[in-house]
Amino acid sequence: MTRFGKYIDRGLKNLSREAVDAALQRAGMDKSAIEAAIVGNAVAGLMFGQECIRGQVVLRDMGIGGIPIINTENACASSSTAFHLAWLYVASGMYDVALALGVEKLYHEDKRRSFQAIGAAVDVEIMQRIMAQMAATSKKEGEEGGAGESRSMFMDLYAMAARDHMHRYGTTKEQFGRVAVKNHYHGSLNPHAQYRERYTLEEILASPLVAEPLTRLMCSPIGDGAAAAILCSEEKARQFTSKPIFVRASFVDSGKDHRPDEPGATERIAAKAYEMAGVTPEDLDLVELHDASAPAEIILYEELGLCAKGEGGPLIDSGYTELTGKVPVNTSGGLLSKGHPIGATGVAQICELFDQLRGEAGDHQVQGAKVALAENGGGMLRAEVAAISLHILST
């Protein structure tokens, strides 16, 4: 993967080439070995007008063509979906080698374009009404203004979910802040992270208020970047490495209308993935999850079964999810620190798990890691994630 960051002068082709070339070099493989490619991107059309054939455009520029190239657009889960389809190609026996690529550019001279593009990952008709109501009734003194203009309106949605969690379970703003402290510390150890600064809890809480209880340092930044993964059949992989990493489970699903007492999308897909992989949450050695905001991580602890409902706050207090804890979460720095070029995020999570399971993560290595999970959500529909992906990898 590239280091995520602000690359005004680099385009999708340039970022893609860096990620794909690095993946091929690390695999010891020539591009001619790739039999199919799946490219995840979410907003190139809205940002720069590149629609319809994004994958073909970026791959042809580096001499990859004459193979099936599939484009996946699934909000923040775009390249998680690409990885899933590449896995299906190989698992089915149709191809022996498939490339999954995620790439995104979110920085633009007009920042409103960035946030408006991100804001398209909802039911736009309904959201326009909700945002109008929120602007009229819930703006608090000291909050940053401009949801959808100067910031992602998803932060307002995450803030609503955080307040609900606080009301239901007594979760505190300090506990949300500790997630940000942890992930910024992890990111400081990761050379691919967009931001590598460390912060105290006091500094996290004192950063500018975005939407109560979220401060700016509890929110993921926008960014540019690319990440690539090569999937092979086991027989083919053995030709290139003596340390293969296996995909034990891979699912893509969606939210649906359900009763409050029924499992949500993340709980449903997690149960399927654990069953397919033959593991339980207790077997996990590390997790990369979609911490687009600090409260989202605490909520996902519960939905992934790392703890019971309502116990996400005490879990972060206990150190369970820190780098030296029982199940480190977001060792890469997560979206909060590593960055969130939305179409690249899913495969970037896979890159982190791969490094960890191979024992090649450097300063942020989890010792003895053998089983790892990546969860990535995309968009929101009727107060639930719209697209959801989950992968379990192991040595």
Rounded-to-integer distance, Cα 71 and Cα 78, Å: 9
Rounded to 10 degrees, what is the CA torsion of 265, 266, 270, 273?
60
Residue 128 and residue 130: Cα distance in Å, rounded? 6
The whole-angstrom separation of Cα 85 and Cα 81 is 6
351 tagged catalytic: no
Q: Are 19 and 103 in contact (CB under 8 A)?
A: yes
Tokens of 8: 């005004």
Q: What angle do CA 370, 371, 376 make, to 5 degrees?
A: 140
CA 303 to chain centre: 16
CA 72 – CA 98 distance, rounded (Å) = 14
Phi, then psi, of 99 in degrees rounded to 5: -105, 130
* Rounded Cα gap, residues 186 and 180, in angstroms: 10
In 3D space, the residue among 142, 174, 173 whose CA is nearest the CA of residue 159 turns out to be 173
Strand partners, 126: none
Q: Which of 165, 186, 192, 340 is catalytic?
A: 340
108 is catalytic: no
Helix H or strand E segment including 378:
strand 371-381
In sequence order, what are the residues at sequence separation of 6 or more whose Cβ sits closer than 8 angstroms to the Cβ of residue 246?
Answer: 234, 393, 394, 395
Question: Could you give the 3-state DSSP secondary structure of residue 82?
Answer: helix
Radius of gyration of the chain from its Cα atoms, rounded to whole angstroms: 20
**Residue 256 corresponds to which tokens in the numbers above?**
């649906």
Upper half-sphere CA count for residue 11 (Cβ side, 13 Å): 9
d(CA 300, CA 388): 12
Alpha-carbon span 171 to 301, nearest angstrom: 13
Rounded to an integer, what distance in angstroms lies between the CA atom of residue 98 and that of residue 83?
Answer: 9
Question: Cα 246 to the chain's mean position, in Å?
Answer: 20
Q: Which positions are catalytic?
A: 76, 340
